[in-house]
Amino acid sequence: MSPKSARKAKSEPVQSAGSARPTLLLQWYDWHRRRLPWRAAPGETSDPYRVWLSEIMLQQTTVKAVGPYFEKFVARWPDVTALGRASQDDVLRMWAGLGYYSRARNLYACAVAVTREHGGSFPDTEEGLRALPGIGPYTAAAIAAIAFDRHTMPVDGNIERVVSRLFAVEDELPQAKPLIQQLAATLLANSRAGDSAQALMDLGASICTPKKPACSLCPLNEDCTARLQSTQETFPRKAPKKSGTLRRGAAFVVTRGEELLVRSRPEKGLLGGMTEVPGSDWLAGQDDAAAKLQAPDLKGLSRWQRKMGVVTHVFTHFPLELVVYTARAVGRTRAPEGMRWVPVATLADEALPNVMRKVIAHALD
């Protein structure tokens, strides 16, 4: 007789909780799902174009920030072939302010590819989607699950957080990604893959938040390992990231009547393809005198006037400090090679990143 045969008075329903979770999650979702502009109403078929567009915009970007941009885009380009017929510059102008501008270039390239190579319909498999510009592993899985109900679990930052807490994953990100992917897949319901994914994302966004998670409201709280240990807020594990070194530069704001001198940045790299006022390089340890030497060379220009103060801006990987110089150009002063005059009144329509809007506002203040 082995000790194992001893029976508990009341056998515990430790019912391999793994199988109960997907159902609990969907039940929670059916009551608490967020209403979002790109989501189909319950029972409705979702539009792959809207799912794709929203997923691209939502990469590293908050729902609140995306809202108005999504509405603008679908109003102007109601389907992927309409977007494919636009110009990249129109797309960049509409995207200005949302950040990560390579997304906008890839968005356009993707629309062209879907229009020309897929007859205007998105591929309905992860593999097919993954081959398109701007669509990586997460986005391919998300579109496949949400728009085409493929049985796959996309793993974004929300889901990494929820899963790493649920299973108390001690490994640090990003090394833990494969493990988390595997664990996340256990939360997929047999049907309703897209809802399973969106349920986890909503849970991460509204309950299982980075700070002060509302565990008492969580449908999975009963067998959340981190919560049982009261270590929720310490997950996911990740190495602290280092902040970049301050870079300095100068920006030159030249007006000609009611017009402003601008140019376009190179296609690739920081703020690729976006509009800017002429400026110096942005370098660590550069002094103002060195930066000023890079002022554009125009005939018929008034003296450069240094605006008091500086414009500061923080990019993901470095902070930036710009000194601003202004000057006025007479009558028909020609724009130097590669530059152009634009009316101040229509600046809002330009593909101006926010750092340049700050510079111009500071200069014209």
Partner DNA sequence: CATGCGTGGGG
Partner DNA sequence: TCCCCAAGCAT
**Residues lying near DNA in the complex (CB under 7 A):** 36, 38-39, 54-55, 58-65, 97-102, 106, 133-140, 142, 156-158, 161, 174-175, 198, 201, 204-205, 209-212, 238, 240-241, 243-244, 269-272, 313-317, 353-355
Q: Which is nearer to DNA, 17 or 181 (CB)?
A: 181
356, 254, 244: which is closest to 311 by C-alpha? 356
In sequence order, which ranges of 213-312 are alpha helices (DSSP H)? 225-228, 288-292
Q: How far is the CB of 210 from DNA (least distance, A)?
A: 3
The answer to whether 193 and 150 have CB atoms below 8 angstroms apart is: yes
Q: How far is the CB of 223 from DNA (least distance, A)?
A: 22
Q: Which is nearer to DNA, 20 or 246 (CB)?
A: 246
Beta strands in the chain (DSSP E): 247-256, 259-264, 275-276, 283-284, 305-306, 311-314, 319-328, 339-343
- 55 has catalytic annotation: yes
Q: Which is nearer to DNA, 54 or 333 (CB)?
A: 54
Q: Which is nearer to DNA, 314 or 330 (CB)?
A: 314
Residue 349 CA to residue 155 CA, distance in Å, equals 36
Catalytic residue (choose from 55, 126, 276, 350): 55
DSSP letters along 123-136, please?
Answer: -SSHHHHHTSTT--
Q: How far is the CB of 139 from DNA (least distance, A)?
A: 3
Q: How far is the CB of 37 from DNA (least distance, A)?
A: 10
Q: Which is nearer to DNA, 32 or 313 (CB)?
A: 313
The answer to whether 91 and 53 have CB atoms below 8 angstroms apart is: no
Q: How far is the CB of 90 from DNA (least distance, A)?
A: 18
The answer to whether 360 and 277 have CB atoms below 8 angstroms apart is: yes
DSSP reduced 3-state for 165: helix
277, 273, 347, 262: which is closest to 104 by C-alpha? 273
Q: Which residues are catalytic?
A: 55
